Amino acid sequence: MNIIFIEPSFPYNQKEFVRGLHQIGANIIGIGERPQEYLSDEVKGYLSSYVQVQSVVHEPTLLQAVQQIQSKVWVDRLEATVEAHIMAAASVREATGIPGTSVRTAYLCRDKPAMKEELRKAGIPCAMSTRADNPAITSDFVKQVGYPVIIKPTDGAGASKTWKVSNAAELERVIIESGVADGAEVAVEEFIEGHEGYLDTLTIDGEVSHEFITHYYPNVLVAMRERWISPQMITTNRIEAEGYREVRQMAREVNRVLGIGTSATHMEWFAGPKGLKFSEIGCRPPGVGQWDVYNTANDFDIYLEWASALMHGHPQKLPSRRFSAGMIALRPECDGNITGYFGLEAIQQEYGECIVASHLPDAGSATQPVEGGYMANAWMRVRHPDYDTLRHIMDTIGRTVTVHAG
């Protein structure tokens, strides 16, 4: 099978998808923005050929590159795993007759107001929301639902450029900061109180093949704003528990309504006083190396499972659920350069066998802003057979380890 893969070497874990395809026996043609000589020898070894383009998100450019490849070989699949690449890949698929995620599905998984409108019509509980490109629409929606509200890009991912607005003064400020005052389009949503998590699937021909549930501690919007917090994401190995039945069913209904065929998905949800609420979904894998967490928790290779889904239409191996696993971000005490760490030795001595991976930049390394995300600075990946014990371990790491900077 000939598979075109978009951007095989960036971000860093893209090479794992290419490795999975290579191991399963695919003939892989890469399309990317970097010169071929910039690719690692490892990635070059996985690819049969590579086409450099100026932009992988500029649809005419991507289309031309794909058609160039099609003039030489039959193309069975065209795959993208980065949020920003999903829409362009879908458009080029439809233009060239290559199977895969449709433009409709890609659009609905990218455009937040359209996504929620479609799911509300199907009876799936979502936050009230609207699309706004001027202050009047924004203010009218706030009058309808009340404070607080969330304002974010219609096609955003994570908490990037996302505001929680709690009063009229904040609304006036955010209308300017978000660009709405100048005609920029945003999604405006009812703020949902409750615990936040996500459910990721690997879906084959519309049926969930693999699924994983992860909890945020604390919720993302708080985690991405408060430097003192060492935020955690913990994947449970108790997925068969009765308390998860509703969110697992919701994921299947969302996938069905949005037309997910054979694809990875990443669905965010809230559970609180108003019950379980859908938040948003992407028809691609999660970020922040989360598939590596699933691998270390389940004694298998989800990249290989994804490749098998594309190549053979079935899984290779079931996850063991032997461990709960998660990652904890360790923020520097201020921006600048890292000067050292406190508490690492104690943590290593007490929990070293549970720490399966870590990133601890050397002294002198420049820090990254809190808004850079969970893996922007130091982090640890941890596992334990018992979910509650793992939570205790990660809380202890967060309280003990200090990243000094100056």
DSSP character string of 204-249? ETTEEEEEEEEEEES-HHHHTT-TT---EEEE-S-TTSGGGHHHHH
Q: What is the pLDDT of residues 327-344, one digit of tens each?
A: 999 999 999 999 999 999
Residue 157 has pLDDT above 90, yes or no: no
| CATH superfamily, with its number, for domain 195-405 | ATP-grasp fold, B domain (3.30.470.20)
At residue 225 the predicted structure's pLDDT band, cuts being 50, 70 and 90, is: confident
Residue 160 has pLDDT above 90, yes or no: no
Which residues are registered as beta bridge partners of 192?
A: none
Q: What is the pLDDT of residues 42-75, one digit of tens each?
A: 999 999 999 999 999 999 999 999 999 999 999 9
Query: Which of the pair, 372 or 247, is modelled with greater confidence?
Result: 247
8-state DSSP, 287? S
Q: What percent of the chain has pLDDT above 90? A: 95
Token pair, residue 386, equals 């018992």
Tell me, what's the pLDDT at 141?
95
The CATH number of 128-190, from 2.30.36.70, 3.30.1490.20, 3.60.110.10, 1.10.3720.10, is 3.30.1490.20
| Domain boundaries 2-100, corresponding CATH code | 3.40.50.20
128-190 and 195-405, same CATH topology: no
Please name which of 198, 398, 214 lies closest in space to residue 297, comparing C-alpha atoms.
214
Q: Where are the domains of the chain?
A: 2-100, 128-190, 195-405
Q: What is the chain's mean pLDDT, rounded?
A: 96
- CA 180/CA 178 separation, integer angstroms: 6
Spatial contact of 107 and 98, defined as CB atoms under 8 Å apart? no
At residue 12 the predicted structure's pLDDT band, cuts being 50, 70 and 90, is: confident
Phi, psi of 150 (to 5 degrees): -110, 135
At residue 265 the predicted structure's pLDDT band, cuts being 50, 70 and 90, is: very high
Residue 158 has pLDDT above 60, yes or no: no
Helix, strand, coil % over all residues of the chain, rounded to 5: 40, 30, 35
Residue 159 has pLDDT above 70, yes or no: no
Residue 371 has pLDDT above 80, yes or no: yes
Helix pair 86-96, 59-70: axis angle to 10 deg: 50
Amino acid symbol at 82: V
- CA 15/CA 21 separation, integer angstroms: 10
Spatial contact of 256 and 267, defined as CB atoms under 8 Å apart? no
- CA 255/CA 29 separation, integer angstroms: 29
Spatial contact of 66 and 96, defined as CB atoms under 8 Å apart? yes
Q: What is the pLDDT of residues 79-130, one digit of tens each?
A: 999 999 999 999 999 999 999 999 999 999 999 999 999 999 999 999 999 9
Token pair, residue 369, equals 């802003």
Tell me, what's the pLDDT at 323?
98
